[in-house]
Amino acid sequence: MLLAALAPANVLAAPFAAYVIDARSGKPIYTQNADTRLHPASLTKMMTLYLAFTAIERGQVRLDSLFPVSSNAAAEPPSKLGLRAGQKIELRYLIRAAAIKSANDAATAIGEGLAGSEAAFAQQMTQMARALGMRNTQFRNANGLTQEGHYSSAYDMTILGRHLFYDFPQYYNLFSRRSADAGIAKVSSTNKRFLDAYSGADGIKTGYTRAAGFNLTASAQRGNKRLIATVFGGTSTAQRNQVMAKLLDSGFTRVPNRVREVRPAPPQLLAQKVVRRAQVAPKPAATQPQPQQLVLKASAPPARSSRPAGSTAAMRDPLAEAMRTAQKAEITRSRLTLASSSRPRLRPAARGTAVEDAVATAVASSVARTPQTASLAAPVLAASARPAPAPRSRAGGASTAAIVAQAGDDQADAVAKAVAEATAADGNALSLLASPAPKRRTDTVILAAMGEGDISEPEALEIVSRPADSGRYWGVNLGRYRSQVEAEKLLLTTALQDGSLLDSANRRVADTVRGFEANFVNLSKSDALLACERLKARAQECRVVGP
């Protein structure tokens, strides 16, 4: 019964189709010929506007971008805005004219401005339709005029209306306007009747051609519920609006008040991948059936060098043999052979028989086992040239060696006696035993002044003090008030508002005969002038007080 009531009276005008969904979840509520491919008429402009909004959001164009009007766009049949070929118009006005008045010339100008030509723009429209899941849609122009191969379905247009609502909510209000300024003229909505007649309707687009009939995609909200529906093939504007109202009324009664909102997925755009293959001429080596042999295998083996005389191990490792040979030569050069070393030259004074006599004496002493070690070197030392005496030992008549030679049998007593005689003869001799002990250090601490030794009293320092508000003799007066509390409250409020400028100022309330004056003091002239200008900008009474 519902299908019979919704069917148009004159079915020969155009096939009828309808589709209703719950906009919150996308679930269908009513369907009739929803996938039939029919003429969409001006519902095509929904896709034109969708691509325009997409280009704006991507930053490709702006609302104030100037679009040129071609002769093709200016020659489009009504409904039209009245564009002239050669003129330029802002994109915002073209969008208003296409969405509200359904102007064909404005839609064509949008497509040509975005893609360069209407045919190229139609291809982009079809690609976007596939990305949105519109299975039975193909576009040939941007305005929806009847053309071979230009078709859509009630299901696809309903899906497109849902994407407009969710993907571009900032522009969706265009479809609910009754009129708008289109730059060169004021345009009125073609959907004004349905928007005014149906409670909760807020869009979106109408369409009409003789081949398509009266089409409408509408959206309405009641409470938490929102429905989107499409009608194809209406016989008149009134009949189409009536059918749409019945579909929406029936749908609102069938959907629950609360459902889980599922937003439509973003368009799945497919990028075209262009693969370019380089044309390389084949080389003979690549076309031969048998692989070529490596040059290394075909080359002659290296000639063998003749082996030098020597051991096999040395030939196998010549570097190790060379290192061993070098080490042997170094050891031979550094070896100390006493038998082959040259004898040291004798001292000039000892070339006589002193050495032989000393050796003979040492042998005899060794046989007799008598401890005369100190006297054995006496003949040699006496015959050798003595070194020059030190400056401080010139008074000494005999050296320590001579004393030891003349010591007799007891060597220790002779050494001690010689040291005592040397000390008595020369008090300046460098002898550790005879040197006097150092004097004990005093415990007195001497304090010395750093510098040139000036220990006079320092000059008295002149202390110069400056007041805390030095150079800050300016102030700001905020007027007189009846009570001190009121004046202090104003000063505190002002200081909190301009803390950065009045942070170093002091708040002072002066009790005068005429009242209590609120003042900011301890300011520089520039700070006082700036603070007063800011206060005057907020309509606060203010005057600068100088020193």
CB-based burial, 316-330: b 16+ in 10 Å, e otherwise: eeeeeeeeeeeeeee
Residue-by-residue DSSP string for 486-522: HHHHHHHHHHHHTHHHHSS-EEEEEE-SS-EEEEEEE
d(Cα 105, Cα 73) in Å, to the nearest integer?
Answer: 5
Q: Is 102 an active-site residue?
A: yes
Q: Considering only CA atoms, which of 506, 477, 475, 473 is closest in space to residue 492?
A: 506
Which position among 42, 152, 189, 375 bears the catalytic label?
42
Give 539-546 contacts, CB < 8 A, sequence gap 24+: 540/478, 540/494, 541/478, 541/479, 542/476, 542/477, 542/478, 542/479, 543/476, 543/477, 544/474, 544/475, 544/476, 544/477, 545/474, 545/475, 545/476, 545/477, 545/519, 546/473, 546/474
Instruction: Give residue for tokens 């265009």.
Output: 174
d(Cα 46, Cα 121) in Å, to the nearest integer?
Answer: 14
Which position among 70, 101, 102, 205 bears the catalytic label?
102
CB 175 within 8 A of CB 99: yes
SS3 32: strand
SS3 414: helix
Q: Is 250 an active-site residue?
A: no
Which position among 45, 80, 101, 225 bears the catalytic label?
45
Q: Is 199 an active-site residue?
A: no
- Phi/psi-derived region of residue 408, left when phi > 0, alpha when psi is between -120 and 50, beta in every other case: left
Q: How far is residue 291 from each of residues 280, 285, 287, 375, measured CA to CA in Å?
A: 20, 8, 9, 102
Question: Catalytic site residues?
Answer: 42, 45, 102
